[in-house]
Amino acid sequence: MNRRSLVLVAALAASASLAPLPAAAAWPDKPISLVVPYAPGGTADALARLIAQHLGPKLNTNVVVVNKAGASGIIGASSVAQASPDGYTVLYDATPLSINPHLQKMPFDPQKDLAPVSLVAVTPMLLVVPKSSPYNSLQELIKAGKEKPGKLTFSSGGQGTVQYMGAELFSQGAGVKMLHVPYKSGGPGLMAIVSGEVDLGFGNLPALTGHVNNGLVKPLAITSGQRNANFPNVPTIAESAVKGYETYEWNGMFVPSGTPPDVVNRLQVAVKEVLAIPEVKAKFDNLGSRVVASTPEEFRKYLGAESEKWAATVKSADIKKE
């Protein structure tokens, strides 16, 4: 290579070194907002804060949890869908995101306006009855429901909640017509079971474990595909009565569509590393949740299947938003 060529190569190298890096390469260089579209104190909020605590150090920045509750999660999720796709606004959402589009008109399209990052974890629900209930097995409950259609009552935090949809999915699969008794939120709905105001209800393990351990409610079945280590003697709905029944409360993370793919991938890798930290995984295990830590594409496929399941459930029961 002659002298002129060497000078040209050196000049090009210097020029390249001075060229600005792509925006994504510098990410993150400021705090990240992790939006939770539910009120503080719930399961999703607690887990989001646990992840944020460890995610910040992984990314060398602060991850700040921001609660934007309302309209079954729609308000907070909508704010993220409409945010700048720069990786600094992240959504930590749950199952209602895959239910709401089939019950009402949405201000955004979850499948088009949000990009999946990772399915964080799935948490099964328990089907429980009051401690005074005469039913001690799922088979006894179903038999009573078929003998007197519409007499069994179940509570939930309102139409469209996963507790309501889980009960409706069970009702359709078991061939039992039940009467829905809605409450303002999940907490009062669970207390209605404890007090015996209703015959049964569904709730996730974190919400119900204390009530079960204190003998205030009786668990008849669990919604997971396999039995849960926290409740090894509680059969699954699938093995007891409704073949193929399986549903969970899921938690996952999203960013606005259009966020650079390398930012999405770096965020997903960091989240996966956080979920592998022993104390973090132990927290999920203690709640009865199963850590998934999926890839974006795996999460996209999971969301598609969830959407199809709830769309079919809504259509079969002709559910209308109350």
Domain boundaries, the chain: 26-122+248-317, 124-240
| pLDDT tens digits for range 86-120 | 999 999 999 999 999 999 899 999 999 999 999 99
| Integer angstrom CA distances of residue 131 from 86, 100, 136, 216, 228 | 51, 33, 9, 5, 21
What are φ and ψ of residue 50, in 5° steps? -65, -45
- Give the pLDDT band (50/70/90) at residue 24: low
Of 25-34, 136-145, 193-202, the one with minimum mean pLDDT is 25-34
For the domain 124-240, what is the CATH code?
A: 3.40.190.10
Q: How confident is the model over 18-44, as a mean pLDDT?
A: 79
Mean pLDDT of the chain: 90
Higher pLDDT, 302 or 22: 302
What is the pTM (predicted TM-score) of this model?
0.86
Residue 30: exposure state from Cβ atoms within 10 A (0-12, 13-18, ≥19): exposed
- Give the pLDDT band (50/70/90) at residue 321: low
| Domain 124-240 in the same topology as domain 26-122+248-317 | yes
Q: Is the pLDDT of residue 153 over 90?
A: yes
Compute the C-alpha angle 158/162/166, nearest 5°. Answer: 105
Return the closest-CA partner of residue 153 out of 127, 175, 179.
179
Higher pLDDT, 20 or 124: 124
Percent over 70 (pLDDT), the chain = 91
Query: Residue 314, Cβ neighbours under 10 Å: how many?
Result: 20
Of 10-14, 49-53, 173-177, the one with minimum mean pLDDT is 10-14
Domain 26-122+248-317, second-level architecture: 3-Layer(aba) Sandwich (3.40)
Of 51-60, 140-149, 153-162, 311-320, the one with minimum mean pLDDT is 311-320
Q: Is the pLDDT of residue 59 over 70?
A: yes
Compute the Cα dihedral for 237, 238, 244, 249 and give only its sign.
Answer: positive
